[in-house]
Amino acid sequence: MLPYQLLNVFVTDDIWSGNPLAVFKPEHDLSDETMQQLAQQMNLSEITFVRPSTTQTAADAEVRIFTPSYEMPFAGHPTLGTAFAVAQGQDTVKLAMKAGVIPVQVTPDLLTLTANTPTYRDAPTHAELAEALSINAIQISATPRFVNTGTEQLIIPLDSAESVAQCSLNLALFERVAANNEGRSGALVWAWQDDTVIARYFWSQHGQAAEDFGTGSACANLGGWLLAENAVLPLQLQMEQGHGIGRIARLSLSIKADRQIQVGGKVRQIGRGEFDLGGYVGRR
């Protein structure tokens, strides 16, 4: 039997909020094929597999992250949810991922990860991005950039929350202009609404347009974007995501005076279960 926990990450006070995550703790190493098949079976944006750390990085656990289509080197809500599942009273958890060792601070009310130092790449023209989002180029309010604090994504600032709500993907063009350094397309569109960032995250999955509930990696990359814009530090803000798909996620973003980027959120366990894979489990 293969047990798992079902969590919601970046929750509000509503039980049906945040981004769902399944965390698996297999007793034996699973094959890449089996982990990918389980991700497809669960059909969540991501699931994680946790094993005791065998590296020399002083991590508390090793984590692999899978979407229904592919493995990711880093993602925000899987990092926080996995830290919640393995913390066992610790106030700091270090998780070894393909993007490196990610530290997570754990309190009863909030889990907070520290992202990698951002790197940047130029984005396509405003005109191309606007066409891909089915908006007008003048609705792009500042310089879009590819930002990478663990997973490279396109960060696109818009002039209003109304413009964020208006976005609708021209999928073929979006897949071309939003392709990251691994050839996968994803973009955060966002705007200020008073002191809160209103955001949507789009990506392409199995040749179809998809929208995420709450994207911690993109929130970290927004922090990198703000650093590139010489934001006044220290900085702290709240990001809300999911309005367009009827399920709100609430994320916190902090940038310290030393330019360290932190993303936080609340995590709630809502269930647990187990898979009976019998003799079908593939092991490495």
- 46 part of the active site: yes
* Residue 116 to residue 101: CA distance in whole angstroms: 9
Closest CA to 205 of 186, 178, 177: 186
Distance of CA 65 to the CA centre of its chain: 11
Alpha-carbon span 196 to 67, nearest angstrom: 28
Task: Give which of 81, 101, 85 is closest to 19, Cα–Cα.
Answer: 81
Coil, strand or helix: which one is 264?
strand
- The residues facing 205 across adjacent strands are 208
Q: Pick the catalytic residue: 46, 62, 152, 240?
A: 46
Token pair 């079976």 in the structure block, residue: 41
The DSSP letter of residue 229 is: T
Q: Which residues are catalytic?
A: 46
